Amino acid sequence: MDVEQEVARLESLSLAELRTQWARITNSAVPKVSARMLRLAVAWELQARAYGGLSRETIRKLDQIGRGLTQTSPARPGMRLAREWNGRLHVVTVGEDKVIRWEEREYRSLSEVARAITGTRWSGPAFFGLKKKAA
């Protein structure tokens, strides 16, 4: 049975059957929610498994929004970020290819650059001022 058929079949399941389906799919405790909400959750799980779930970036963003403590702006192609550290100005560019460049080297993330500059673990977005406290 394909995913669309499985999702459509959920409409005909009772709450008990939905709970069984949830436990089978997720191997976790069944949440205490209405049949309607559980139906949506099971449908999401089925589709996420078939087509891929949320990206790591999306999960991080949703978590950040949910906690409401900070807001992070993404590093976009064409950006130049500057930070003074120990009396020296460090300028990072984000290329159109989304590669991060600092001192003629390429990095996968701003955090790698921040670590190279400071010698310690830093959140790259925080180090370069892209992560701010929420108002």
pTM (two decimals): 0.54
Residue-level pLDDT at 104: 93
Q: Is 57 helix (H, G, I), strand (E, B) or coil?
A: helix
Taking only the tens place, the pLDDT of each residue in 102-128 is 999 999 999 999 999 999 999 999 999
Instruction: For the chain, report the end-to-end CA distance as a whole number of angstroms.
Output: 48
E-only strand ranges, 1-135: 70-72, 80-85, 88-94, 100-102, 105-107, 131-133
CB 6 within 8 A of CB 46: yes
Hey, what are 54's tokens?
């949320």
Residue-level pLDDT at 135: 66
More confident of the two residues 28 and 60: 28
* Res. 91 pLDDT band, cuts 50 70 90: very high
Burial class of residue 92, CB neighbours in 10 A (0-12, 13-18, 19+): buried
More confident of the two residues 72 and 97: 97
Residue-level pLDDT at 46: 94
Dihedrals phi, psi of 66, to nearest 5 degrees: -60, -40
